[in-house]
Chain A
Amino acid sequence: MIRQAIILLVLSTAVGLGGNLISPNRVDFVGKFRDLSSGDQPIVPPTAEPGDPPFVGINEAQMEFATGKPLFLDARNAEDFDCGTIPGAINIPFEALPEGDLGKYFDSTLGVAKDYPIITFCSGEDCDLSLHMGRNLKLLGYTKVAIFFGGAREWEKFGLEMQRRKSCGS
Chain B
Amino acid sequence: MRKLIDNDYLTLLSRLLVGGMFIYASFYKIIDPAAFAKSIWFYHLVPGKWINLMALILPWLEMTCGLAVIVGFWHRGAALWSNIMLIVFIAALASAIVRGISIDCGCFRAAESATHSAWSSLLFDIGALVFSVHLLASRSRRWMLSSR
Q: Please say whether chains A and B are actual partners in one complex.
A: yes
Residues of the A chain whose Cβ atoms lie less than 8 Å from the Cβ of B89: none
**Across the interface, do A16 and B48 meet the contact criterion of CB distance under 8 Å?**
no
| Cα-based distance from A50 to B55 in the complex (angstroms) | 36
State the interface size on chain A (CB cutoff 8 A). 34
B97 interface contact, C-beta 8 A: no
Smallest Cβ distance from B37 to chain A, in angstroms? 6
Per DSSP, are chain A's interface residues mostly helix, strand or loop, or mixed?
helix
| Cα-based distance from A11 to B34 in the complex (angstroms) | 21
A63 interface contact, C-beta 8 A: yes
| Cα-based distance from A126 to B44 in the complex (angstroms) | 31
Which of A24-32, A103-111, A151-159 touches B? A24-32
Known: A8-B81, A16-B60. A35 touches B47 (CB 8 A): yes
**Across the interface, do B57 and A29 meet the contact criterion of CB distance under 8 Å?**
no
Which of A65-73, A81-89, A128-136 touches B? A65-73
Residues of A within 8 A of B (CB): 1-9, 11-13, 15-17, 19-20, 23, 25-35, 63, 66-69
